[in-house]
């Protein structure tokens, strides 16, 4: 007859007691680890332009992210083409371009559907786009407030660009005059892509 050992039972009871004593709002270990892996800059939920479904920007954790505020009726609107080309060229290496239409500079008056149709039919935009967003001033979205604080500059016009490092620790801004294909902009993207 095998001797009974209370050790496994005690261990199970202690583990169960510890689990039951976690606060009700405590995240499960896997969720907590995922939240820690997502940089603070990406811890935002935004609405996708095409269908206004909520999207977590944490899905882009570990990528080099280009955030750009866009507008359909701006002298810089043709930059959509260069942004799409960049996204397509470097996507396999871990780049993603995220577009945020904004009417802060009075050049994006259409509905989200109008903007989505325009971007796709005129410039073939396939990179992720989100619903109209305030990007400057007191009404700026939390994401753009963080980008302004991290880079030292808010968007001063449409097609302001921010490159966020893979770990979210560094943000470099480029003004509207910087074309997506400019050597300086591409060099910064390649520098960030080369980092682990």
Known catalytic residues are: 74
Q: Give the burial string for 85-121 (b: 16+ CB within 10 Å, else e).
A: ebbeebeeeebbbbbbbbbbbebbebebeebbebbee
Structure tokens at 195: 């980092």
Q: How far apart are the first and last CA of the chain?
A: 58
For residue 143, the tally of other CB atoms under 10 A from its CB is 21
Residue tagged 């325009």 (tokens)? 118
Per DSSP, the three-state class of 29 is helix
List all residues 6 or more positions away from 127 whose beta carbon is below 8 Å from its beta carbon.
83, 84, 87, 96, 97, 98, 99
Per DSSP, the three-state class of 179 is coil
d(CA 99, CA 120) in angstroms, rounded, equals 13
């Amino acid at each position: 007859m095998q001797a009974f050992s209370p050790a496994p039972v005690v261990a199970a009871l202690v583990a169960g007691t510890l689990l039951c004593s976690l606060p009700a709002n405590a995240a499960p270990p896997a969720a907590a680890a995922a939240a820690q892996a997502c940089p603070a800059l990406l811890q935002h939920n935004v609405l996708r332009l095409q269908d206004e479904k909520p999207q977590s920007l944490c899905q882009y954790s570990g990528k080099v992210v280009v955030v750009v505020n866009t507008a359909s009726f701006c002298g810089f609107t043709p930059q959509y083409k260069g942004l799409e080309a960049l996204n397509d060229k470097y996507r396999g290496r871990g780049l993603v371009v995220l577009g945020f239409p904004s009417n802060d500079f009075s050049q994006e008056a259409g509905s989200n559907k109008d903007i989505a149709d325009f971007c796709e039919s005129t410039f073939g935009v396939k990179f992720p786009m989100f619903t109209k967003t305030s990007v400057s001033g007191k009404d700026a979205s939390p994401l753009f407030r963080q980008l302004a604080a991290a880079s030292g500059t808010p968007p001063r016009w449409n097609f302001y660009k921010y490159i966020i490092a893979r770990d979210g620790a560094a943000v470099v801004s480029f003004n509207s005059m910087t074309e997506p294909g400019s050597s300086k902009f591409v060099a910064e993207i390649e520098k960030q892509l080369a980092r682990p």
